[in-house]
């Protein structure tokens, strides 16, 4: 019996030994291949973007050991812009990492006019004892869940502050994000280990994960249409057809947003690192919903009746907005879940002066959009709740944009498209962040005078050059083509002076002076009061440091001015810009013909130009012969 037992044990050991040898011999070719690839330097993970597989991708930044700086990895520059910062941080350095989507990046422009750049300029001017640097980590089409691993990387670079502005891209991809929330620590470790294998990296490269070529300003395709990491549903052949009413999916996305933002706040607080949240705004007045659908339980007869009312109202909307509104309201009794109906009702109410009701319907049109490319109200509420519960500072950019808009309804006066703020909007966001940092003692600095801030803006704007804006116009074309905004042209074509003024303002922000001229003259021909609205915008441009554009607008208004008071206010604007530019000859040409009237002109100024330079007469007498 003992002999049989020994034979059984020996047989078992042999089987195990053979099994181990089989595994070793089977993996030996892979081990040899891995060693060979490492020896040859093939399959480096830095060259592969793994966003679509194995969890997190290659880091956003990589170290240049020769120059000792971190730079944006070339393979990530299709969705991010080039940034760099020293590897060794000095005691005086203050690093601010701005995380979010294309708004953070500054689209349709570049980071040079994004709120992060304006914040950096303002803080350095207010506190010369430190060197403030903002590092732009805005990723095109990046939702909040994609920012979580990015923040984990950023935490290794000795940040002093995180600014998180996210919410517009949450519904862009076709997933519930359940896989992101359910990833275990073991799975993450396994994925990270897989990334270190050159064999795995080579396979990913051969199957489509190769590094992207560095994008250029001459690139003919929009970054958002890339097949890299973010697979936007609008990039599919089905496009808008892939979006349908799906309350469960939208709730899952909202829950994921809540989880992601809370996790990022937790990570910062765990690291004892200040974080500031930004609640982003959106274009309500000049952006209809991207897709509309009826409620799911509507029957054929009701839908036909609804469509008849809707079509009749649409035909009458321009000539009889009150009658059209009544028909739209009848249609709403049948089905009030169709977002384009809310937008059409808001437009009628807008023209009728029913601004409170119009504002409510504009918001409903955004929140009921079947294709939510603008941050809906429930996500904004979640963000504000997180800020309250975690006692994190929040910048309410949405409310700020609304407060500075006509009738508190933001449109093209505040946004160049559906979500991206104007340059002035970015400046105000930076001012709000700087103020919050000062109030919460995150940054201890002196306040900077309005005049000094405007001069900083002016010097920076003049350094950009004209091609900066022409490239911005190209990108806005890409973005609108990608979002297929041409389908909505009939909805946003300006039909009243307010809309024409807004279109003028948008064209000026993009330096599209030809379009601005057309809209401006149409607006004034329709209603002379448009001149005063545009005169006030010339002041806003001056405050933004955009003297050239402000002067251009004044020249156009000068050709249409039909009253002496308006002409006098325009002349005051010319004088202030000339003095600010230190253009003595231009200042003299404006000042001398009205030399005896300036006191009266300034006293009667209703535009606000005199407030931008209260000592204009003293300065004029000092510089003029």
Q: What is the pLDDT of residues 260-287, one digit of tens each?
A: 999 999 999 999 999 999 999 999 999 9
What are the pLDDT digits (tens) for 14-39?
Answer: 666 665 565 556 666 666 666 665 66
In the prediction, which pLDDT does 207 show?
40
Reduced to 3 states, what is the DSSP secondary structure of residue 607?
coil
Residue with tokens 């280990």: 193
- Rounded Cα distance, 281 and 399, in Å: 7
- Which segments of 544-583 does DSSP mark as H helices, in order? 547-560, 564-580
> Cβ contacts of residue 76 below 8 Å, gap of 6+?
49, 57, 58, 60
Percent helix, percent strand, percent coil in the chain, to nearest 5: 60, 5, 30
Beta-sheet strands, E only, within 227-283: 275-279
- Bridge partners of 136, per DSSP, are 98
The distance between the two most distant Cα atoms of the chain, rounded to a whole number of Å, is 128
Beta strand segments in 344-498, E: 394-396
Q: Contact 283/417 with Cβ under 8 angstroms? A: yes
186-204: buried (b, 16+ CB within 10 Å) or exposed (e) per residue?
Answer: eeeeeeeebbebbbbbbeb
Nearest to residue 120, comparing CAs of 148, 90, 151, 85? Answer: 85
Query: Residue 231 has what pLDDT?
Result: 53
**Residue indicated by tokens 């050059």:** 465
- In DSSP notation, 178-213 reads HHHHH--HHHHHHHHHHHT-HHHHHHHIIIIIPPPP
**pTM of the predicted model as reported, rounded to 2 decimal places:** 0.81
From residue 442, alpha-carbon distances to 120, 372, 445, 574, 606 in Å are 14, 35, 10, 40, 39
- Supply the pLDDT for residue 258: 95
Cis (ω within 30 of 0) for the bond into 108? Answer: yes
Take residue 373 and report the two structure tokens written for it: 């490319």
Say whether 494-623 and 300-367 share the same fold. Answer: yes
| Span 512-568, pLDDT tens digits | 999 999 999 999 999 888 999 999 999 999 999 999 999 999 999 999 888 888 999
Which pair of structure tokens corresponds to residue 311?
A: 């079509």
Considering the segment(s) 300-367 as one domain, its CATH architecture is: Alpha Horseshoe (1.25)
Position 581 scores a pLDDT of: 92
HSE value, Cβ hemisphere, 13 Å, CA-based, for 302: 13
Residues 6 or more apart whose CB falls under 8 angstroms from that of 99 comprise 137, 138, 147, 150, 151, 154, 162, 163, 164, 165, 166, 264
Q: CATH for 88-176+214-288+375-483?
A: 3.40.50.1110
Cα-to-chain-centroid distance, residue 496? 28
**Which 3 state secondary structure label does DSSP give 461?**
helix
If you average pLDDT over every residue of the chain, what do you get?
83
Tokens of 537: 């915008």
Pseudo-torsion of CA 349, 350, 353, 355, nearest 10°?
A: 90
From CA 209, how far away is CA 313, in angstroms rounded?
Answer: 52
- What pLDDT does residue 470 have? 81
Give the fold, CATH level 3, of 494-623: 1.25.40
Q: Write out pLDDT tens, residues 425-453.
A: 999 999 999 999 999 999 987 788 888 99
- pLDDT averages per 10-residue partition of the chain, 625 residues: 53 61 62 63 44 52 92 89 94 96 92 96 93 95 92 96 94 58 44 51 45 38 40 52 83 93 96 96 93 92 95 92 96 95 95 96 96 93 96 94 93 92 95 93 85 93 86 70 58 82 92 93 91 94 95 94 89 94 92 89 87 90 78
- CB of 431 closer than 8 Å to CB of 440: no
Query: What integer pLDDT is reported at residue 349 of this predicted model?
Result: 96
Task: Report pLDDT for 473.
Answer: 75
User: What pLDDT, on the 0 to 100 scale, is given for residue 445?
Assistant: 76
SS3 for 416-450 is CCCCCECHHHHHHHHHHHHHHHHHCCCCCCCCCCH
Determine contact, residues 373/172, Cβ cutoff 8 Å. yes
The token duo for 208 is 């489509």
Q: What is the 3-state secondary structure (H, E, C) of 88-147?
A: CCCCCEEEEEEEECHHHHCCCCCHHHCHHHHHHHHHHHHCCCCEEEEEEEECCCCCHHHH
pLDDT tens-digit readout, 394-421: 999 999 999 999 999 999 999 998 999 9
The pLDDT value recorded for residue 489 is: 65
- The HSE-up count of residue 242 (CA atoms within 13 Å, CB side) is 15
Please check whether residue 428 is in contact with residue 404, taking contact to mean a CB–CB distance below 8 angstroms. Answer: yes
How far is Cα 102 from Cα 426, in angstroms, rounded to an integer?
12
The ranges assigned to domains in the chain are 2-40, 88-176+214-288+375-483, 300-367, 494-623
The two counts, helices (H) then strands (E), for the chain are: 27, 8
The whole-number pLDDT of residue 56 equals 44
Q: Copy the structure tokens of residue 150.
A: 């990015």
């Amino acid at each position: 019996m003992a002999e049989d037992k020994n034979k059984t044990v020996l047989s078992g050991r042999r089987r195990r030994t053979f099994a181990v040898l089989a595994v070793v011999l089977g993996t030996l070719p892979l081990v040899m291949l891995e060693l060979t690839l490492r020896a040859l330097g093939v399959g480096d993970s830095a060259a592969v973007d793994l966003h679509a597989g194995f969890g997190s991708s290659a880091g956003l930044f990589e170290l240049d050991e020769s120059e000792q700086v971190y730079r944006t990895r070339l393979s990530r520059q299709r969705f991010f812009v080039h940034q760099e910062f020293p590897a060794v941080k000095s005691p005086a350095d203050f690093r601010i990492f701005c995380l979010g989507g294309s708004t953070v990046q500054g689209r349709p422009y570049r980071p040079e006019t994004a709120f992060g750049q304006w914040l950096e300029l303002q803080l350095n001017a207010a506190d010369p004892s430190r060197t403030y640097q903002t590092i732009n980590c805005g990723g095109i089409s990046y939702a909040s869940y994609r920012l979580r691993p990015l923040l984990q990387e950023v935490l290794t670079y000795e940040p002093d502050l995180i600014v998180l502005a996210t919410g517009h891209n949450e519904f862009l991809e076709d997933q519930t994000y359940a896989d992101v929330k359910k990833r275990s620590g073991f799975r993450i470790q396994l994925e990270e280990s897989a990334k270190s294998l050159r064999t795995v990296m080579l396979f990913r490269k051969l199957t489509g994960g190769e590094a992207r070529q560095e994008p250029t300003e001459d690139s003919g395709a929009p970054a958002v249409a890339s097949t890299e990491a973010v697979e936007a549903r609008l990039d599919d052949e089905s496009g808008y057809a892939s979006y349908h009413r799906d309350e469960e999916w939208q709730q899952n996305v909202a829950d994921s947003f809540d989880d992601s933002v809370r996790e990022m706040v937790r990570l910062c607080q765990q690291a004892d690192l200040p974080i500031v949240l930004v609640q982003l705004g959106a274009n309500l007045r000049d952006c209809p919903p991207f897709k509309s659908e009826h409620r799911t339980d509507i029957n054929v007869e009701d839908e036909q009746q609804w469509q008849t009312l809707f079509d009749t109202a649409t035909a009458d909307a321009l000539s009889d907005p009150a009658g059209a509104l009544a028909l739209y309201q009848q249609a709403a009794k049948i089905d009030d879940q169709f977002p384009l109906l809310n937008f059409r009702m808001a437009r009628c109410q807008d023209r009728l002066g029913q601004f409170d009701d119009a504002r409510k319907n504009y918001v409903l049109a955004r929140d009921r959009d079947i294709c939510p490319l603008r941050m809906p109200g429930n996500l904004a509420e979640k963000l504000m709740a997180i800020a309250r519960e975690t006692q994190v500072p929040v910048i309410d950019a949405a409310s700020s944009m609304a407060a500075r808009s006509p009738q508190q309804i933001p449109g093209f006066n505040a946004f160049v498209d559906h979500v991206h703020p104007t340059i002035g909007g970015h400046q105000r966001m930076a001012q709000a962040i700087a103020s919050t940092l000062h109030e919460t003692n995150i940054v201890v600095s002196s306040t900077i005078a309005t005049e000094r801030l405007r001069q900083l803006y002016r010097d920076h704007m003049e350094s950009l050059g004209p091609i900066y804006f022409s490239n911005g116009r190209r990108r806005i074309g890409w973005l609108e083509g990608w979002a297929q905004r041409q389908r909505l042209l009939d909805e946003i074509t300006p039909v009243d002076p307010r809309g024409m003024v807004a279109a003028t303002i948008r064209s000026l922000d993009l330096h599209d002076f030809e379009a601005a001229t057309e809209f401006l003259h149409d607006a004034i021909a329709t209603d002379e009061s448009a001149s005063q609205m545009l005169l006030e915008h010339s002041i806003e441009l001056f405050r933004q440091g955009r003297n050239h554009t402000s002067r251009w607008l004044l020249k156009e208004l000068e050709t249409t001015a039909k009253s002496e008071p308006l002409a006098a206010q325009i002349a005051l604007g010319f004088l202030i810009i000339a003095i600010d530019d230190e253009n003595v000859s231009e200042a003299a040409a404006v000042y001398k013909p009205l030399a005896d009237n300036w006191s009266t002109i300034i006293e009667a100024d209703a535009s606000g130009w005199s407030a931008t330079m209260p000592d204009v007469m003293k300065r004029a007498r000092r510089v003029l012969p």
